[in-house]
Chain A
Amino acid sequence: MNIPVSVIGGYLGAGKTTLLNRLLADPQGVRLAVVVNDFGSVNIDAALIANREGETISLTNGCVCCSIGDNLALALHDLAERPNGPEHIVIEASGVADPARIADYAASHPRLFLDGIIVVADAETVRTRVHDKYVGDLVRSQLETADLVVLSKVDLIDAAAFRQVRAWIAAEMPGARIVAAPRAGQVADLLLSGATGYAALSRPRADGEHARQFATWSFVHRQMLDGDALRTAVAALPPAVVRAKGIVRLVEAPERRFVLQLVGRRWSLEPEPVGTQDALASDPSVIVCIGLADQLEPEGLDALFASTPVAALPGAVRDLLQGEATT
Chain B
Amino acid sequence: MPGPITIFSAKKIITMDPAVEEATHVAVRDGIILELGTLEECAVWGPYTLDDRFGDSILVPGLIESHAHLLDGLLWAKAEYVGPIDRRDPSGKLHEALKSVPALVKRLKEIEATISDSKTPLIGWGVDPSLNDLVDPITRHDLDQVSKTRPIFLLHASCHLAYVNSATLELANYAAIKAPGVLRDTSGAPTGELQEMAAMMAAIKAVASDLVGASTDTAQFFNFAKVAQARGATTIVDGGGSTYFEPAFLQAALAATGSPDFPVRIVAHNNGITVPKVEDMIAAATSLKDKGNDKLTFQGIKILVDGSNQGFTGRLRAPGYLRTGANGLWNRAPEELTRIVSAMHAAGMQIVAHCNADQASEVFIEAVAAAQAEKPRADHRHFIVHGQLLDEAQLRRMAALGISATLFSNHMYYWGDFHRAHTFGAFRAAAMNPAATALRLGVIVSAHSDTPVSPVDPLLTMWAAVNRVTTTGRVQGPKERVSAYEGLRMMTYNAAWLLHRDHEIGSLRVGKRADFTVLGSDPLTVEPMAIKDVPVLATILGGRVFSVAG
The answer to whether A binds B is yes
Contact A104 B329 (CB under 8 A): no
Contact A69 B201 (CB under 8 A): no
- Nearest CB in chain A: distance from B319 CB, A: 13
Contact A108 B277 (CB under 8 A): no
Q: Does B247 contact A (CB under 8 A)?
A: no
- Nearest CB in chain A: distance from B368 CB, A: 16
Contact A105 B198 (CB under 8 A): yes
Q: Which one of A69, A98, A109, A135 has the highest number of Cβ atoms from chain B below 10 Å of its Cβ?
A: A109
Within 8 A of B (CB), among A17-63: 37-38, 40
Closest residue of chain B to A71 (Cβ to Cβ) is B212
Classify chain B's interface size: 20 to 34
- In the complex, what residues of B have CB within 8 A of residue A98's CB? 329
Contact B179 A96 (CB under 8 A): no
- In the complex, what residues of A have CB within 8 A of residue B330's CB? 96, 134-135, 138
Contact B197 A71 (CB under 8 A): yes
- Nearest CB in chain B: distance from A1 CB, A: 14
Q: Which of B75-83, B170-178, B374-382 contacts A (4 or more CB under 8 A)?
A: B170-178
- In the complex, what residues of A have CB within 8 A of residue B277's CB? 38, 40
Within 8 A of B (CB), among A233-255: none
- Binary interface profile of B, 195-226, with partner A (CB < 8 Å = 1, else 0)? 01111111001000000110000000000000
- In the complex, what residues of A have CB within 8 A of residue B198's CB? 73, 101, 104-105, 107-108
Contact A109 B202 (CB under 8 A): yes
Contact A96 B332 (CB under 8 A): yes
| A11-B327 contact given A38-B276, A74-B213, A107-B177, CB 8 Å threshold | no
Contact B177 A110 (CB under 8 A): yes
Contact A107 B178 (CB under 8 A): yes
Within 8 A of B (CB), among A208-223: none
Closest residue of chain A to B241 (Cβ to Cβ) is A70
Classify chain A's interface size: 20 to 34
Contact A134 B179 (CB under 8 A): no
Q: Does A72 contact B (CB under 8 A)?
A: yes
Q: How far is the CA of A134 from the CA of B363 in the complex (A)?
A: 8
- Nearest CB in chain B: distance from A41 CB, A: 8
- Binary interface profile of B, 329-359, with partner A (CB < 8 Å = 1, else 0)? 1111111100000000000000000000001
Q: Does A270 contact B (CB under 8 A)?
A: no
Q: How far is the CA of A37 from the CA of B336 in the complex (A)?
A: 14
Q: Does A95 contact B (CB under 8 A)?
A: yes
Q: Can you name 23 A-B residue pairings with CB atoms under 8 Å? A: A11-B333, A12-B333, A12-B335, A71-B213, A73-B198, A74-B201, A77-B205, A96-B333, A101-B196, A101-B198, A104-B179, A104-B180, A104-B196, A104-B198, A105-B179, A105-B197, A107-B180, A108-B177, A108-B179, A108-B198, A110-B202, A134-B315, A137-B327
The 5 closest A-B pairs by CB, nearest first: A110-B176, A73-B201, A38-B276, A70-B274, A107-B179
Known: A104-B180, A104-B196. 20 other contacts (CB 8 A): A12-B335, A40-B277, A70-B241, A72-B197, A74-B201, A74-B205, A74-B212, A76-B201, A95-B333, A101-B196, A104-B181, A104-B198, A104-B199, A105-B197, A108-B179, A108-B198, A109-B201, A110-B173, A134-B330, A138-B330
Residues of B whose CB lies within 8 Å of any CB of A are 173, 176-181, 196-202, 205, 212-213, 241, 273-274, 276-277, 315, 327, 329-336, 359, 363
